[in-house]
Structure 1
Amino acid sequence: MAKILAFAGSNSANSINHHLVNYVAKDLVEHHVRVIKLTDYSIPMYSEDLEKSDGFPGMALALRQDIADVDALVISIGEHNGGWSAFFKNTMDWLSRIDRNFLAGKKILLMSTSPGQRGGVGSLEQAKNLLPRFGAEILESFTFPSFHHNFSIETQEIIDETLLLGLKEVLSTFAHQIK
């Protein structure tokens, strides 16, 4: 049984990426999955001056340790103007300053969703290119388009059958690869 840390790269109180993470976490029943909210780790905006004067923020160190303690990650990244949100980039900036290879040995399921038809593909592609620089091994990825049309917030279920089958296949493959 693998230990998995799951989170959305979003600071929105109503994050659709967090809804997707929660849905996926419930489906990975063969593994121990811990879902967190990055907003619970209060990390200031990165500044070289701040790092020099105050060192690494305690909550950034805590998140780094939480990542170190697991075998795999499930990350769903939101998209702002075709790329990562400033919030998620800031988190990655701090973590990579603490340890350039903070994702070494971590197997990752990378996802994105958005209200639009592209499903956050811009941020997903950015993450696929950048996270391996920090040691990540991206095993699977999935984009979930038109979130509000294809997912019911009320029932926490995927409405679109094709998307459901596609995600189930990705989850099955990911779960098998991290055993």
Structure 2
Amino acid sequence: MKILAFAGSISSDSINHQFVTYVTTLFPNQEIEILDLNDYQMEMFSSDKEKEIGVHPVAKKFAEKIDESNAIFISLAEYNSSYAGGFKNTFDWLSRVKDRKHFGEKPMFLLSTAPGPGGGKNVSAEFMRRAPFSGANIIADFSLPKWKENFEAGKGITNEELNHDFMKKIEIVKESLGISN
């Protein structure tokens, strides 16, 4: 099973990158590729820019990474109750790659975290509304609130109740992907 993982953020200290990276550790013996959106930055999407250069070659490379995977784990950053700009731009360019949906109908584990009590639930809800039109087959989702209070590097989710709910989601994903423990 080849799992592609990335955060919907270009921040160098992204907690969503830390979170999705942690999640991949719970899938041992799988082929994991963790992308950094900073390696896929493109000019701001506009119809004028698309007329000038066509589909951005970096968007095509990102689409290839998706197509080479069997599943996608994404942890979305929430800025002002919506997508972070870096992710939204990648998403917009990806929509221009011909003859495919954004996420190639791949099974997806949708994650989010934030410093506040919502844990990125607004951006997750927005993405879930869009998912059927974007080829994202969401098999499970989880939002972790209050990152600094509920997560510790090397340990994972420290809140017992949240960790219990999270581990149930992990089992759903493993079962859906045919991964045995």
**Contact 2:41/2:90 (8 A) holds in 1:** no
Provide structure 2 residue ranges, at least 5 long, that are not aligned to the other structure: none
- 1:51 corresponding residue in structure 2: 50
- 1:139 corresponding residue in structure 2: 139
**Contact 1:68/1:102 (8 A) holds in 2:** no
Q: Aligned-pair distance for 1:156? A: 5.2
- 1:21 corresponding residue in structure 2: 20
TM-score with structure 1 setting the length: 0.94
- 1:92 corresponding residue in structure 2: 91
Q: Given residue 118 of structure 1, which amino acid in structure 2 is its aligned partner?
A: G
Q: Deviations over 1:96-143 (max 9, x none)?
A: 111451323200000110000010100000010112211211110001
- 1:73 corresponding residue in structure 2: 72
Q: Aligned-pair distance for 1:30? A: 4.5
Q: Deviations over 1:17-60 (max 9, x none)?
A: 01110110000114222111111112111011111111122211
SS in 2 for 1:169: helix
Between 1:90-99 and 1:27-36, the stretch displaced more is 27-36
Runs of 4+ in 1 over 4 A off after TM superposition: none
- 2:166 corresponding residue in structure 1: 167
Q: Given residue 16 of structure 1, which amino acid in structure 2 is its aligned partner?
A: I
**Contact 2:77/2:84 (8 A) holds in 1:** yes
Q: Deviations over 1:123-166 (max 9, x none)?
A: 0000101122112111100010000111124x352211122221
- 1:128 corresponding residue in structure 2: 128
Q: Distance in 1 between matches of 2:103 and 2:41?
A: 20
Q: Distance in 2 between matches of 1:168 and 1:32?
A: 20
> What is the aligned-residue identity percentage?
34
SS in 2 for 1:122: helix
**Contact 1:60/1:95 (8 A) holds in 2:** yes
- Give 1 or 2: higher strand fraction: 2
Between 1:97-106 and 1:45-54, the stretch displaced more is 97-106
**Contact 1:19/1:156 (8 A) holds in 2:** no
SS in 1 for 2:79: coil
Q: Deviations over 1:51-106 (max 9, x none)?
A: 11111222111111000111110000010111111211111100011145132320
**Contact 1:113/1:144 (8 A) holds in 2:** yes
TM-score with structure 2 setting the length: 0.93
Q: Distance in 2 between matches of 1:108 and 1:157?
A: 21
- 2:107 corresponding residue in structure 1: 107
Q: Distance in 2 between matches of 1:157 and 1:119?
A: 15
